[in-house]
Amino acid sequence: MRRALLVLLVFVAAILCGAGLFFHARLGAPYHGYAGNEQFIEIPPGAGPAGIGRRLVEAGIVRDRLTWRLALLESGAARELKAGEYRFSGDVTPREVVARLMRGNVFVRSITFPEGLAIHEMARLFEVRGFGTAAAFERAASDGSLVSGWDPAASDLEGYLFPETYALPRRADAGALVRAMVGRFEHVFPAEARQQAVDRGRSVRDVVTLASLVEKETARDDERALVAAVYTNRLRIGMGLQCDPTVIYALQKAGRYRGNLTRENMQIDSPYNTYRYAGLPPGPIASPGRASIEAALHPADVPYLYFVSRNDGSHVFSTTYQEHARRVAEYQGKR
């Protein structure tokens, strides 16, 4: 009797050991049960482990529900799985599937908006990168109500879509992206800084408009506060800003810009033409980055009223027109 019981125990132990080895190997065995090179799966918020397992099996990512349950049991992570859309490609083990859902490695695509783009340029980039149509982006960016709390005059979001890299879900729409960009602007130019500008007699719209001119005039961080100072000094004495990028913006809005400024189109009758109309243009002409916003908030304490390009990305600054004229002859004559 004892011998029979011992044999039975050894037999059961052998079976359990074999099963353990089998399932241990199975949890480490790569699997690819779907057609094609990749498979996307959406895990909705609130989905339980069983529902997640069912989706994974139906999608061909995990072999069967038992394998999924064993992988979860081994990991102890049944309560740590995160919602979102996941992308799987090639062979993947059940352990790797669980680990990916634990980490929340959801699938996102990135889009980068450089500093100094206007809404229509951002819209083209949005379309080129395959996120949607340019028209959809422009419609979303026309919702000035998103910034009405600090700029009630805004009819659109020009200047308030912060230029940065954004990671988006595969099905992200233009509205979600635009809201994220405005949210990022609020973070970079927070309520305290906006209030400080207002306390100094400057509206948020004025600051961002000035920052957009700075952004379009120079890409050098060491020049931004100087450019801001030139325009601030001109505004203080009632001198025209005479900013070429504002004329280009006016021409673009009118559908008349062909890549260069001519004597004729420098006369365009637009409030954005700072050669014809004194003061700041009606609003931003592009989305400024953090450095240009800081420069607009804190212009350099210098007397400059003029600057001219050295044709190498840098500029030379002058206080008097006579000095400026000499610099123009010196640097523009080399072109």
Superfamily of domain 26-103: Endolytic murein transglycosylase (3.30.1490.480)
Tell me if domain 26-103 and domain 108-188 are identical in fold: yes
Is residue 6's pLDDT more than 80?
Answer: no
Is residue 13's pLDDT more than 90?
Answer: no
Q: What is the pTM of this model?
A: 0.82
* Domain boundary assignment for the chain: 26-103, 108-188, 202-304
pLDDT tens for 212-249 read 999 999 999 999 999 999 999 999 999 999 999 999 99
pLDDT tens for 145-162 read 999 999 999 999 999 999
Candidates 284, 294, 291, 272; CA nearest to 160 is 284
Q: What is the 3-state secondary structure (H, E, C) of 164-177?
A: CEEEECCCCCHHHH
pLDDT at residue 8, rounded to an integer: 47
CB 255 within 8 A of CB 171: no
User: What CA–CA distance (Å, rounded) separates 309 from 271?
Assistant: 25
Q: How confident is the model at residue 23 (pLDDT cuts 50, 70, 90)?
A: low
Tokens, residue 312: 């190498």
Decide yes or no: CATH 1.10.3470 for domain 108-188.
no
pLDDT at residue 28, rounded to an integer: 79
Is residue 69's pLDDT more than 50?
Answer: yes
How many angstroms from the chain centroid is the CA of residue 288? Answer: 13
